[in-house]
Amino acid sequence: MTQEYQPPPLPPPFHHHNHRTQSTATTTTTSTTTLPPPILLTQGAEAHLYKTHYLNATTHPAALKIRPSKPYRHPILDRRLTRQRILQEARCLAKLVREGVAVPALYAVDWEGQTAVVDAATGAERYGGAWLLMEWVEGDVVRVVVQAWERAMLARFAAADQHPRRRQADGEMEVDGDQGDNGHVERKREEERMKDLLRRIGAAVGRLHAAGVIHGDLTTSNLILRPKKESGQGDGEGEGAGEVDLEGEVVLIDFGLASQSVQDEDRAVDLYVLERAFGSTHPRTEAFFAEVLEGYRASYRGAASVLKRLEEVRLRGRKKSMLG
């Protein structure tokens, strides 16, 4: 239970790095390759994300997304889903790049992923998994940015939070008349910056939908805030007076559940997924979600009817629990 977690082995052509990751400190593997091995960044639900590079290690960092086979699934089902999803993802990315939507560019893909590799942990053979090589997008995911901003807000306006009404979780950031003028203006300004980010998120989703693609898993973890080129700061930690950088371009990532559709229904469900994920991930900032929808409304023709549909979607589903 307490043993160190070992990710599944890498599929070819990345697999020759497997030895290196498992070798002990004393042995130096004589790998013929000059490439540094891919670095595991995150283990998502469906895929492992590695940072590697494309062609040239210094100029072209790249994101490698591997969908390892899921041993819990029936092999036939697993193969069907893996193939279907990686192809779907590749097609959507290719289309969005063509349409000029801010997404990572697609470099290469292996949709079969049926090459057997040896699992270092168990010694058993398993399928290496299908993979997708994409452009590397700099910046933090919006979840991290919003959380950093929420923390900064709490720290900066801590005094105001001692006010009993403030402690009620939802709508915590709402304006309060009792506050000193200075703090009030500051707070307003900060909130305005967040609202602007949320509107840009809405606009990004709008451009995606306008291009005929549905994301399928919109959460704040699947949006990256790519900082502006000139400002050289790498991480989202605040500079100066605890200010979190909210500038930059909103890039959509992870099209693992994406599909192509121009139906109001699908678009509305996409927004609904985002709304729900936002509410459960950022309960303190939930009250501002309307800004995302505002940004969306202005982003393309046809957005208005999607938002209308969204109202229906909200009422439907299992918003209110019922027996099936």
Query: Which residues are catalytically annotated?
Result: 217
Residues 6+ positions from 244 with CB-CB distance below 8 Å: 145, 148, 149, 152, 236, 237, 238
Under the binding rule (CB under 8 A), the answer on residue 22 touching other proteins is: no
Among residues 128 and 227, whose Cβ is nearest to other proteins? Answer: 128
Asked if residue 21 binds other proteins (CB under 8 A), the reply is: no
Axis-axis angle for helices 264-281, 181-210 (nearest 10): 150
Closest approach, Cβ 306 to other proteins, in A, equals: 16
Minimum CB separation of residue 39 from other proteins in Å reads 18
The token duo for 167 is: 């402690």
Run of H or E residues at 116:
strand 116-118
- CA dihedral sign of residues 34, 35, 39, 45: negative
Under rule CB under 8 A, residue 280 binds other proteins: yes
Q: Pick from 293, 211, 281: which is nearest to 252 by CA?
A: 211
* Four-residue CA torsion sign, 134, 235, 213, 47: positive
User: Considering the rule CB under 8 A, would residue 169 count as an interface residue with other proteins?
Assistant: yes
Binding-residue pattern over the window 216 to 255 for other proteins, x denoting contact by CB under 8 A: xxxx-x----------------------------------
For residue 212, state whether it binds other proteins (rule: CB under 8 A).
no
- Binding-site size, other proteins (CB under 8 A): 38
Q: What share of the chain is helix, strand, coil (3-state, %, to 5)?
A: 40, 15, 45
Which of 25, 72, 100, 181 is the binder for other proteins (CB under 8 A)? 72
Q: Establish if 40 lies at the interface with other proteins (CB under 8 A).
A: no
- 3-state secondary structure at position 195: helix
Contact with other proteins (CB under 8 A) among 152, 242, 283, 300: 283
Q: Which is nearer to other proteins, 81 or 105 (CB)?
A: 81
Q: Can you read off the two tokens belonging to residue 40?
A: 């595991």
Choose the binding region for other proteins from 28-36, 43-51, 90-98, 110-118 (rule: CB under 8 A): 43-51
Return the bridge partners of 39, or none. 51
Q: Which stretches of the chain bind other proteins, using CB under 8 A?
A: 1, 3, 5, 8, 43-46, 70-74, 76-77, 80-81, 169, 216-219, 221, 257, 269, 273, 276-277, 280-281, 283, 317-318, 320-324
